[in-house]
Chain A
C-alpha cells in the first residue's frame, strides 16, 4: 500500500480559505475561529492536488502519492 503523507503548515497558512474552497470532498476544511485551514478527513482525499495548486504560500503538501511522473508507457 502507498504511504501518502499530508502536511498543512499552520505557520504558513494565511487563512485565505482557497484550499478548503476547492476541495471537492471536504478532506480540507476551514476553521473560522482559528482562521486556518486544516485536514478534516485525510482518508477521503482523492489527491486531485487542487489545494496545492491554489495555495498562495505553498503551505499544503501531499507527498508519496503517485503522480504523472510515475506513468510507465506499456
Chain B
C-alpha cells in the first residue's frame, strides 16, 4: 500500500467539492492561475450542497401563494436590513445565534449575495431561485452543484477524485501545501501550493442522529487544528427538529411539504406543546393564529424556516421532561389529505420516506438531529485564516447555509488567488520533506496494524455518535458535558492508538475518526466555556442570553499543552443588539 509518491504543484489548492470549494476553484481559475481541486469522494456527490434546499427564495411558485404559504423574501430587502436580519437570526450562518458573527463578513455576504446568486446562470444553473420547490425529490442542490462542476472542469481546473488530504504542510506561519493518499490508487500525494483553500464542509456526523451525508466528518477542522490555525464558535451546532426516527423509515429530515406543514407536533399524550414553549421563548409572530387547521407558518405567524431551532429546543425540552415517547415526540399527520403531499417534490420526498409507515393511522416519531456545524476555522471578511496562505470557505469556516457557502467560496477563491500572485512556489525544505515522510509513515503504520476489537473505526464512530448525542445535544449541562469529555478522553486513550485500516477505504474511515474525535472535543470544550445560552447554544444551567458578558467569540488553538481556549469580544462595527 502507498507504493508511489506523487509530487504535484499548483498555484491554488482547493480541498472539497461542495458549492464553496467549486465556487472557489472557479474564482481562482478565472484569475488565470493553476488550480487543483481535491475531494476524498466523487466530485460534489458526497457534499451537503447536493442535498441542500437551494440558495434563497425571493419568489415562490404561484400555487404556494394561493395556499397561503409564506417564504421569506430576503433578496427584496435593502442591504442594511438584510445584514441586520443575518445578525439577529444568524440566518447566514445557520439560524439563530444572535450577534456572534463577524459583522464585516456578514456585510460582505449581504452585499455580494445578489450578484453571486444571479451569476449562477453563467455556470449553467437554469434557475437559481426555484430549486427548493421544483427540483428533484431529495436532491435539490443537484441542479445547482452539478452544472457548476461541469463549468469548473470546462474552465480547466484540475481535479483529483477520491484522494484524501490528511495534513497541511506548514512553513513558519504559512501553509505551503498538503499531503494525502489515494483511495483508488497506491499513491501518497505531496502537493505544493502557493495558497490553500479549505472547503471541506462541516462535521455533523459526530452525532448519531444527523442527516448530513456520511462523509461529513469534520476533516477540515482536524486539518486546520493540527496545522495550528485558529477555530471559533465550535459550540454552535445547527439542530433540526423534523428528523424521522421511525424504525422502518430512513433516518432523515422530513422536508417542508404542504402536507407536513399541516401536521401537528404533539407529545406522547397527544398534547400540542410548541405554543407553550414558543410563548416562553417569545418567538411567535404578531399574526399567529394558533389554529391547528392552518399551516404552521400561519399558525405561528412566521416563516417556518425562522422557527427551526425553536422547534428543536421545544422538542428536546419536552423529551427531557418525560413527555416524549421512546425519546421522541410525534408529528400527527392523520388528518392531512394525501393530495397535499403530492403537489410538490418535498411532499413526494416525505411520502417516499414514510413508505414503510402507515402515517394515515399512526403519528410519526421525530427527534431533534444535528444538521450542521455553525462554527469552524476563524476567518475574516477576506476568508483569510490565522495562517498565511490558508483560506477557508463554506461550512468549514463557520457558516452553513447555501448563501454563506456560495459567497465565502467566491471570496476564499479571490483572496487565495491574490495571495498566490504575491507569493512564490518554492520547493519543500528538508524539514518539510521530513514532515511529509513522517506522515506517510503514520499512514503505513495504520494500514500495517493488526485488526482488533478496540480499533475498529466504524465501531468507534458509532460510539462517539452516541456519546455526543447524549452529552452534548440540544440542551447542554456542565455535568453532562464533563461526562462526555471524560468518555472522549477514554476513546482517545483506548481506541485511537489501536485504530487499524486493512484497506484504503478503511484508512479513510480511520482518519475520519481521528478528525471526528478532535471536533467532538472542540464542541464539548467550547460548550463548557460559553456560560450562557444563545440561539443554537443552549445551556440548561445558564439559560439566559447574556449580552453584558458574552458578546464574545470563543476561539480554539493548538498549543504545546493541547487544546487552548480563549475569547475575544465581537467587533460590533455595524449593529449592536437592542439590550
Contact = CB atoms under 8 A, between A and B. Distances in A.
B28 interface: no
Interface stretch (B102-110, B248-256, B326-334, B474-482): B248-256
Contacts of A30: 505
A64 to B, nearest CB: 9
A22 B343 CA distance: 28
A66 B343 CA distance: 12
A32 B139 contact: no
A67 B248 CA distance: 21
B447 to A, nearest CB: 14
Interface string B328-355: 0000000000011011110011011111
Nearest to B359: A1
A23 B213 CA distance: 8
A22 B139 CA distance: 12
A45 B66 CA distance: 33
A48 B349 CA distance: 9
B30 interface: no
B552 interface: no
Nearest to B244: A46
Interface residues of B, number: 40
Chain B binding surface SS class:
loop
Report which residue of A32, A45, A48 has the largest number of chain B beta carbons within 10 angstroms of its beta carbon: A48
Contacts of B340: 74
A46 B349 CA distance: 8
B355 A1 contact: yes
B558 interface: no
Given A22-B45, A54-B42, A49 B138 contact: yes
Nearest to A20: B505
A43 B248 contact: yes
A47 B351 CA distance: 11
Contacts of A11: none
Report which residue of A21, A24, A43, A49 has the largest number of chain B beta carbons within 10 angstroms of its beta carbon: A24
Contact of B139 (A23, A50, A65, A66): A50
Contacts, number: 101
B342 A72 contact: yes
A59 B433 CA distance: 45
Contacts of A24: 46, 51, 213-214
B454 interface: no
Interface in A1-42: 1-4, 17-18, 21-27, 30, 32
B213 to A, nearest CB: 4
B573 interface: no
A68 B213 CA distance: 22
A45 B250 contact: yes
Contacts of B248: 43
A50 B340 CA distance: 26
Contact of B348 (A4, A25, A71): A71
B401 to A, nearest CB: 19
Contacts of B67: 74
B442 interface: no
Contacts of B250: 25, 27, 43-46
B41 A22 contact: yes
Contacts of A71: 342-345, 348
Contact of B63 (A50, A65, A74): A74
B422 interface: no
B503 A22 contact: no
A15 B40 CA distance: 18
B141 to A, nearest CB: 11
A54 B248 CA distance: 26
B41 A46 contact: no
B544 to A, nearest CB: 38
Contacts of B268: none
Given A22-B41, A25-B214, A46 B353 contact: yes
Contacts of A26: 214
B137 interface: yes
Given A21-B42, A21-B45, A66 B352 contact: yes
A25 B41 contact: no
A46 B353 CA distance: 6
A21 B139 CA distance: 16
Given A47-B137, A54-B42, A74 B355 contact: no
A43 to B, nearest CB: 5
A74 B139 contact: no
A48 to B, nearest CB: 4
Nearest to B40: A21
B356 interface: yes
Contacts of A54: 42, 45
Interface of B: 41-42, 45-46, 50-51, 63, 66-67, 136-139, 162, 213-214, 248-252, 258, 339-340, 342-345, 348-349, 351-358, 503, 505
16 contacts: A2-B352, A4-B352, A21-B41, A22-B45, A25-B250, A32-B505, A44-B250, A45-B250, A46-B352, A47-B137, A47-B138, A50-B45, A65-B352, A66-B352, A71-B348, A73-B63
A-B CB proximity, top 7 nearest: A24-B213, A74-B343, A66-B348, A2-B355, A48-B138, A22-B45, A74-B63
Given A30-B505, A66-B137, A71-B348, 17 more contacts: A1-B355, A4-B355, A22-B45, A24-B213, A43-B249, A46-B138, A47-B137, A48-B138, A49-B136, A50-B45, A65-B352, A67-B136, A71-B344, A72-B343, A73-B63, A74-B258, A74-B340
